[in-house]
Chains A and B, each alone.
Chain A
């Protein structure tokens, strides 16, 4: 549904809590590939990656009314995926295939940090993984970013106060949105 592809993540989340299956479907459209790719990166196994992501999406549908999400939808989905991946690894008993990574993870690199810092690291990883997606699949997220940024914020970042300049930012943002939308239509539908 075209209306739903225009909704920001927090709107979709709000609708999801009201049993809106179209909102759920749109969340799936946006995040399923990204999460599968991430789960594959962590487990090295395609089937296992599929299973993990399936669990995550079933969970958010079945528990939609009780979801308590404080941060962004993307970091929530990543954390839910992480929890399941860790469970999968724990179930395996033999963790030799992770030997490289935990022996590489040397204590001296590791500094006990607060959760805010980890959250930031996670956000950086999400951004990075989005950037690595095949181009067509990335457009979904470009749109999301553009939708989230208001032209006021952009103007602020560019340190523009002049009204005409603001209008120019607004206009180019509008053109960009239009372009992204048409690209998106080709991709999703």
Chain B
């Protein structure tokens, strides 16, 4: 191939007028070059690129803590905004990717989450479980591997079709149900126990409960209605604690990025243990386990607030700002930044989880706090 020919092909590529034969020739050249060229960036150069790109793309960033240096941080975030504004794009003129790239997204309403989950079968396969809007409808996902069903009470169950997961009959096979940001899902376990899984959470459970205990592992938040079985205790394991129950209703709040693990009991009795400590909860009580203390703190709480999420509501009972905002981050996929000292702000009241974010913020603003929405970042002012 000579230069003229090569340039000709490139031009046609730009104009989208490559014939099949031209296209194949150009592709073949490209692959030939890719296969025969040994040029490579060093580890450090790659790390450089990674940091460079990271600052220029709409990625989710680790939340910044701004309380101490509000002005410097404000200046930094303005600089960042400018950075986002001055991208230069060469126009892409090929095929389906023709449209201009729009950098700044219009301020739109931030919609709430919904029923969304991801099921990981014991063979490692992952399946997206989506929402079912009307009752008693059976949806089949991914080549009929899973049948999802919503019963008359709105509880969603799924059945793994036998030929999809051959390991199903094995004694020790586990499934994992997890939820992304803005996702929530309910399941019924093999023993009839109902689990409501909140956003950004996951639960690992056996497909059959063999042995003399029923053990599940939880990361994040879930509400359990454990089916009674006195001879087979039900255990919920999270990072720092284990809960043992016989048959009862309770909520576990155990997010890795929050310092306190909260267990709230609505009915029956549970034993919470952590670091060789054990506490028995009575209905209406909540245990708090924090990394900083070796004791299990038990107090009376408004249980309605603890499980409001499962009933489609936000309810705040003297709740602190950061825990409220963490909930909103998980449900609306936003990031929150704080300007100034807001540590003593407390919230009471509530609203519904199916509302757009702006409406929820309006409710919160009644408690002497201001919000500013910049894309998907919410800035909180005292």
Chain B residue contacts of A8, Cβ below 8 A:
126
**Across the interface, do B29 and A58 meet the contact criterion of CB distance under 8 Å?**
no
CA A147 to CA B60, docked complex, whole Å: 24
CA A18 to CA B102, docked complex, whole Å: 18
Minimum C-beta distance from A172 to chain B (A) = 13
CA A109 to CA B96, docked complex, whole Å: 30
Chain B residue contacts of A53, Cβ below 8 A:
49, 53
**Across the interface, do B57 and A11 meet the contact criterion of CB distance under 8 Å?**
no
**Across the interface, do B26 and A105 meet the contact criterion of CB distance under 8 Å?**
no
CA A28 to CA B43, docked complex, whole Å: 17
Asked if A101 meets B29 with Cβ closer than 8 Å, knowing A11-B118, A23-B180, A118-B24, the reply is: yes
**Across the interface, do A32 and B124 meet the contact criterion of CB distance under 8 Å?**
no
Asked if A28 meets B59 with Cβ closer than 8 Å, knowing A11-B128, A151-B123, the reply is: yes
Number of interface residues of A (CB under 8 A): 91
Interface of chain A, helix or strand or loop or mixed? helix
B116 lies within 8 A of chain A by Cβ: yes
**Across the interface, do A55 and B124 meet the contact criterion of CB distance under 8 Å?**
no
Chain A residue contacts of B38, Cβ below 8 A:
41
Residues of A within 8 A of B (CB): 1-4, 6-8, 10-11, 14-15, 18-25, 28, 32-33, 36-38, 40-42, 44, 46, 49-51, 53-55, 57-59, 61-63, 68, 80, 82-91, 95-96, 98-99, 101-105, 107, 109-110, 112-113, 115, 118, 121-122, 124-125, 128-129, 132-134, 136-137, 146-152, 167, 170, 173
A-B contact pairs, 30 of them (CB 8 A): A1-B200, A10-B126, A11-B118, A21-B60, A32-B50, A36-B50, A37-B40, A41-B38, A46-B41, A46-B45, A49-B49, A54-B87, A55-B89, A58-B89, A59-B92, A61-B57, A90-B10, A101-B36, A104-B36, A105-B29, A110-B28, A118-B24, A124-B35, A128-B35, A129-B34, A134-B43, A147-B126, A150-B123, A152-B123, A152-B166
Residues of B within 8 A of A (CB): 1-3, 5-7, 10-11, 13-14, 21, 24-43, 45-46, 49-50, 52-54, 56-60, 87, 89-90, 92-97, 99, 101-103, 116, 118, 120, 123-126, 128, 166-167, 170, 178, 180-182, 200, 202, 219, 256, 333, 376
